[in-house]
Amino acid sequence: MSKLASEPHENRQMAEWFGLDAARYDRARPGYPGALVDRIIGLSPGKNFVDVGCGTGLSSRPFQAAGCTVLGVEPDARMADVARGRGLEVEVAKFEDWDPAGRTFDAVVSGTAWHWVDPLAGARKVADVLAPDGLIALFDNGFELPPAVMKAQGEAYRHAVPDASFQEPSKEDRDVEEYAKQIYAKQYVKAAEGIQQTGAFTEPQRLRFVWERVYTRDEWLDLVPTQGGLNHLDEDARTRFLTHLGASIDVLGGSFTIHYATEGITATRR
């Protein structure tokens, strides 16, 4: 029996789940606030970027739209194909194994992907490819579901899998401020430690942006399967879950607002 990976970057099977429906991922997943993009571009010495774990290009396209040249590095060929179809140049590789072929860049960014990278090996690779005063910027979205929607999702799961145990999330788990702190503690403390251990960067600085988005019933049902929590269910159970959840959202008025907090860190190459 294989041992479960203790860190996300050691669990390639979980990472590859998202490529099973890459087009849905690209269509449904949220982007990032414009203020974050502006901040990162303002901190970078130039506009030649690498996007680590670019996926389908959700984190790359805002920088392209702002005039940056972006190269994606993505280990999943299915995700890379979608990104290329949206106009992004992508090289397929795990970032730690990627060959930059002597190229240097002004900034290395990673949106909702750095947890799949070994924090020390990844930081060392970034140090190798950045120009002097180049920037590393890592960021991730946390969100708060309205309590009624969270309750509806729990009921939908129990309806889909009657024999499964389901623990209702606590108020702290639902709160966007608390969730943002958890993201920072679980992901970016380790990332910052990796950056610091290289000795090649300034002290990491925290990024934080708060924003919100309204989701319709159909938009939310499109997004939920991309979050990974339903991957273990068979097709019939997933259908029951989504049907029950959709009916509940209809009762709630057919749409709702999610509060997001985008968290991350930046550091500059010495």
Identify the band that residue 2 occupies on the pLDDT scale cut at 50, 70 and 90. very low
SS3 call for 2? coil
Question: Measured between alpha carbons, how far is 253 from 41 in angstroms, rounded to an integer?
Answer: 39
**Residue 89 main-chain phi, psi, to 5 deg:** -80, 130
Rg (CA), the chain: 19
Sign of CA dihedral 8, 9, 13, 17: positive
The confidence score (pLDDT) of residue 7 equals 65
Nearest to residue 250, comparing CAs of 226, 222, 213, 216? 216
| Residue 1 pLDDT exceeds 50 | no
pLDDT one-digit tens code per residue, 233-264: 889 999 999 999 999 999 999 999 999 999 99
Identify the band that residue 20 occupies on the pLDDT scale cut at 50, 70 and 90. confident
The confidence score (pLDDT) of residue 15 equals 58
pLDDT one-digit tens code per residue, 223-240: 999 987 787 788 999 999
Conformation bin of residue 87: beta by default, left when phi > 0, alpha when psi is -120 to 50: left
Look up the pTM and report it: 0.89
pLDDT one-digit tens code per residue, 163-213: 765 555 555 545 666 766 676 667 799 999 999 999 999 999 999 999 999
